[in-house]
Amino acid sequence: MNMQPTSRSCILCGRENDIGLKMKWQNDPENQRVIGRVVIPESFNNGYPGLTHGGMVAALLDETAIRAIWINGDYDNIMTTKELKVRYLAPTPTNTELTVIGWVIESGQTRAVVGSMIKTPDGVVTAEGEGLVVLAPSHFRQSLNIEAERKHWRVEE
């Protein structure tokens, strides 16, 4: 399995984001999955100690699902989430290593349906997501200044 690049500022993967999770994902092309591992710190709880906020759960599902379109290594394929459905199945714990898995359900040139799930170390699926992602509009892609930011997208072990 090969690692996916991470950015410098993302709340989930940003290497330079002081409050970010520094999450990393691996491509699993044999199983057509992307796999991430993360420990959610207590500072991201939902007001009850030990339980991750639902918004953070949704963010994990969203990012991991959209990263599934990059399994083939086309990291310039910039898609944005148009719709995300989240099913909360069990509490997602903080301070526990979680596995987040993403996959492509259906794919086209300008859109894809993607899925994701979060699992605890004992195999409990705490949440599932399904999203519709679409090719980012050209004006949006241009505003990102991808060429300038590309040097900050890299794999760090």
What are the residue boundaries of the structural domains of the chain, listed by start?
A: 2-150
Query: Which pLDDT score is estimated for 147?
Result: 67
Question: DSSP string of 36-90?
Answer: EEEE--GGGB-SSTTBB-HHHHHHHHHHHHHHGGGTTS-TT--EEEEEEEEEE-S
* Cα–Cα distance measured from residue 11 to residue 19, given in angstroms and rounded to the nearest whole number: 7
DSSP reduced 3-state for 150: helix
- Mean pLDDT in order along the chain per 10 residues (157 residues): 88 92 95 97 93 97 96 86 97 98 96 98 98 87 70 72
Query: Which pLDDT score is estimated for 156?
Result: 72
User: At the topology level of CATH, where does 2-150 sit?
Assistant: Thiol Ester Dehydrase; Chain A (3.10.129)
* Cα–Cα distance measured from residue 100 to residue 65, given in angstroms and rounded to the nearest whole number: 9
* Cα–Cα distance measured from residue 157 to residue 38, given in angstroms and rounded to the nearest whole number: 15
Global pTM value? 0.92
